[in-house]
């Protein structure tokens, strides 16, 4: 059967079974385009319907989260955990607290997570969870009460050998602390049931930095394939949260100049570059004051563009690090026509299918999220190892392991994604590279 028809037939079934879950359809379609031809060449995966099984979560948990706000009013949110695939290890993946969270978004994230976790080389299955709770504008006490209520239900489904959540959008060190405290209280056990913990209570050094650092290490590896480096490159970053902050830090350490970052209200453009002092301000602004990025522009006399994303700013390298579908086809064309030749994704699925098509057509170095942002979950895996050993490694040791994992992920993408002309299609590389290990484990474990 022709390639297009194979994908069309497969997607018709996925869409019929998962109606209205558009982000999930999008994530599956991207993978199906790489994997279905590979399955045709390897019929053992076809007979065992491996991709059909991978697109159906092993388990979906959906629950009510009641909590009382500071005014004494009862609030009710939805809580979710998608346990997608446990073929190669316990379910592992973050929790997202954001008003847009719904089943389809979490299923897309959980599906991506399965392949990403496989790429890390560590023994982790895939999962994702969260809530439509919006931490913005809430007091610390409200966030705590919400987290305690959320964990009261979640605790019965997770465990250090079963399912190990972590952070994602809206879930950082503060939330992980509240969640961990409640889990410990309910179960009377101190275990590595969550990652991203504080350093004094079982967390790993470098976990906060890991996604952003890994995203930059991945860009550096892609650049090496054309004998180039980040030194002297102009970079644009979107977002100003956990991932963006450490992408800015590492890119700057590698000699690049980062000229933008953003939040959901707009972006700042600083032609002089975001140096260490300015980055320290962003960390304080976002992690402590919980303010808006427009305040950066006032403080450092930079430009602020309300309601837009930074992709119109001329750059060599782009680091999307905010959210899904934040780079569309037009943005991609603008980036490429302005000379951008490297895109390394810190966010999950930040580029629309149209944007990906533009990047691949112009043969730029394009590192998709499931490869380029895998450093975060990889370091979560290292946190789990340290928890099991009841030891903690030094900063240098964890950073070296993270760096080596990113080098291995890059090499795996090259292995599966390089074409006759020498161009590396990292989308294909990451999809097949991530798929094979999970698929072989599923074959070995029978029809489950």
Compare residues 10 and 80 and give the one whose CB is closer to ligand NDP.
Answer: 80
Is 184 in the active site? no
Binding mask 197-236 for ligand 2IT (x = CB under 6 A): ----------------------------------------
Q: Is 183 helix (H, G, I), strand (E, B) or coil?
A: helix
In angstroms, the CA 378 to CA 118 distance is 10
Smallest gap from Cβ 349 to ligand NDP, in A, equals 8
Of positions 154, 282, 364, 377, contacts ligand 2IT by CB under 6 A: 377
Compare residues 315 and 369 and give the one whose CB is closer to ligand 2IT.
Answer: 369
By CB under 6 A, tell whether 347 contacts ligand NDP: yes
By CB under 6 A, tell whether 170 contacts ligand NDP: yes
Residues 254-273 binding ligand NDP (CB under 6 A) are 263-265
Residue 242, binding choice from ligand 2IT, ligand NDP, none, Cβ under 5 to 8 Å by partner class:
ligand NDP
Catalytic entry in 128, 138, 257, 370: 128
Compare residues 322 and 430 and give the one whose CB is closer to ligand NDP.
Answer: 322
What long-range pairs does 383-392 form, CB within 8 A, spacing at least 24?
Answer: 383/192, 383/195, 383/196, 383/197, 383/202, 383/203, 383/204, 383/207, 384/92, 384/124, 384/160, 384/164, 384/192, 384/195, 386/204, 387/160, 387/191, 387/192, 387/202, 388/160, 388/192, 392/199, 392/204, 392/205
Residue 414, burial from CB neighbour count under 10 angstroms (0-12, 13-18, 19+): middle
Residue 236, binding choice from ligand 2IT, ligand NDP, none, Cβ under 5 to 8 Å by partner class:
none
By CB under 6 A, tell whether 242 contacts ligand NDP: yes
The two beta strands, 163-166 and 91-97, are parallel
Of positions 131, 182, 242, 380, contacts ligand 2IT by CB under 6 A: 380
Provide the Cα torsion 371, 237, 381, 424; round to 10°: 10
- Phi and psi angles of residue 60, each rounded to the nearest 5 degrees, phi first: -120, 125
Cβ(346)–Cβ(369) under 8 Å? yes
Residues 331-350 binding ligand 2IT (CB under 6 A) are 348
Of positions 94, 129, 202, 434, contacts ligand 2IT by CB under 6 A: 94
* Active-site residue set: 128
Q: Which residues here bind ligand 2IT, judged by CB under 6 A?
A: 92-94, 113, 116, 166, 168, 195, 348, 376-377, 380
């Amino acid at each position: 059967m022709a390639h297009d028809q194979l994908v069309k037939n497969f997607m018709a079934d996925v869409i019929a079974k998962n109606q209205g879950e558009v982000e999930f359809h999008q994530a599956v379609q991207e993978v199906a385009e790489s994997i279905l031809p590979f399955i045709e060449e390897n019929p053992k995966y076809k007979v065992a319907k491996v991709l059909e099984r991978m697109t159906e979560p092993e388990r979906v948990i959906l629950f009510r989260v009641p909590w009382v706000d500071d005014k004494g009013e009862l609030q009710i949110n939805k809580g979710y955990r998608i346990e997608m695939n446990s073929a190669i290890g316990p379910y592992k993946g973050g929790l997202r607290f954001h008003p847009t969270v719904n089943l389809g978004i979490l299923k897309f994230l959980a599906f991506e997570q399965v392949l990403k976790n496989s790429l890390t080389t560590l023994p982790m299955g895939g999962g994702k969870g969260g809530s439509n709770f919006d931490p913005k504008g809430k007091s610390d006490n409200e966030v705590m009460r919400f987290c305690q209520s959320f964990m009261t239900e979640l605790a019965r489904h997770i465990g250090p050998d079963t399912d190990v959540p972590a952070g994602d959008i809206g879930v950082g060190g503060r939330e992980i602390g509240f969640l961990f405290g409640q889990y410990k209280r309910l179960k009377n056990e101190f275990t590595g049931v969550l990652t991203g913990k504080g350093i004094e209570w079982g967390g790993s050094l470098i976990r906060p930095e890991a996604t952003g650092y890994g995203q930059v290490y991945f860009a550096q590896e892609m650049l090496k394939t054309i004998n180039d480096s980040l030194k002297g490159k102009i970079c644009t970053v979107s977002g100003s949260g956990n991932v963006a902050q450490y992408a800015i830090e590492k890119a700057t350490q590698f000699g690049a100049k980062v000229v933008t970052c953003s939040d959901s209200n707009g972006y700042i453009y600083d032609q002089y570059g975001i140096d260490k002092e300015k980055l320290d301000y962003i960390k304080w602004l976002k992690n402590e004051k919980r303010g808006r990025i427009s305040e950066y522009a006032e403080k450092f006399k930079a430009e602020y563009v309300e309601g837009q994303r930074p992709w119109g700013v001329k750059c060599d390298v782009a680091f999307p690090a905010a959210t899904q579908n934040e780079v569309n086809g037009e943005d991609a064309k603008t980036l490429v026509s302005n000379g951008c030749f490297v895109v390394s994704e810190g966010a999950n699925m930040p580029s629309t299918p149209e944007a990906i098509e533009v990047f691949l057509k112009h043969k730029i170095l394009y590192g998709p999220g499931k490869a380029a942002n895998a450093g975060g979950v990889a370091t979560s895996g290292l946190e789990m190892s340290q928890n099991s050993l009841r030891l903690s490694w030094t900063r240098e040791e964890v950073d070296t392991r993270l760096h080596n994992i990113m080098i291995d992920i890059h090499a795996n993408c090259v292995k599966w994604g390089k074409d006759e002309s020498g161009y590396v299609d990292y989308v294909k590389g990451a999809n097949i590279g991530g798929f094979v290990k999970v698929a072989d484990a599923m074959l070995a474990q029978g029809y489950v």
